[in-house]
Amino acid sequence: MPNNPDTEAVVRGYLAAAAAGDLEGIWSFYSKNIIYEDTSVHQVYHGLEATKDFYVKTMGGLDVHWEVDEIVATDEGFGIGGFMAGRHVKDLPGMPATNKTFKVACASIATVRNGKIVRNRDFWSNAALLDQLGFISLR
């Protein structure tokens, strides 16, 4: 089944903004009432301001980008599969910057209405990230 072109345009625009580090561009794809959930850290944020705060605080310490393998876009939303990769360049709460690289499998699912992301749920392994940064050992 082919992707819905309107929804695919939303997800590709969102990914392009993220790849460019364009925070305002990222925010432009979110509804002001977005519900954003990061399952790896068991956090749910309601509204654009709360989502921005989380994103800046968390992703700001990780020079991170998506390596997208797959996009599925329907009339109502999208799914993305791939990897979250980058370098730990700034301190995060309880984790001084290591300057180590990481690559963690991840997925994201979202609901889109009227060209805006109204719900976004991200899945990735926090344990795998912490292992690659040297904070825990999974071996």
Read off the pLDDT of residues 80-137 as tens digits, 9 standing for 90 and up: 999 999 999 888 878 899 999 999 999 999 999 999 999 999 999 999 999 999 999 9
Domain presence at residue 48: yes
111 and 36 Cβ atoms separated by less than 8 Å? no
Domain presence at residue 108: yes
Please tell me the predicted confidence (pLDDT) of residue 16.
93
Domain count, the chain: 1
With left for phi above 0 and alpha for psi between -120 and 50, is residue 45 left, alpha or beta?
Answer: beta
Mean pLDDT is lowest, of 21-25, 57-61, 82-86, 88-92, for: 57-61
Q: How far apart are CA 34 and CA 37, in angstroms?
A: 10
Domain presence at residue 51: yes
Domain presence at residue 89: yes
Whichever domain contains 101, its CATH number is 3.10.450.50
Domain presence at residue 116: yes
Domain presence at residue 76: yes
DSSP conformation class of 76: S
120 and 37 Cβ atoms separated by less than 8 Å? yes
**Structural domain harbouring 92:** 5-133
Judged against a pLDDT cut of 70, whether residue 60 lies above it is answered with no
Three-state DSSP state, 123: strand
Domain presence at residue 138: no
- CB atoms closer than 10 angstroms to residue 22: 12
Report strand pairing: 116-124 vs 30-38.
Answer: parallel
Please tell me the predicted confidence (pLDDT) of residue 95.
86
Token duo for residue 8: 């695919």
Torsion over CA of 81, 131, 95 and 17, rounded to 10 degrees? Answer: -20
Domain presence at residue 93: yes
Judged against a pLDDT cut of 80, whether residue 25 lies above it is answered with yes
Judged against a pLDDT cut of 80, whether residue 46 lies above it is answered with yes
What percent of the chain clears pLDDT 90, i.e. is strictly above it? Answer: 76
Please tell me the predicted confidence (pLDDT) of residue 76.
97
Mean pLDDT is lowest, of 3-7, 58-62, 67-71, for: 58-62
Confidence of residue 2 (pLDDT cuts 50, 70, 90): confident
Please tell me the predicted confidence (pLDDT) of residue 61.
66
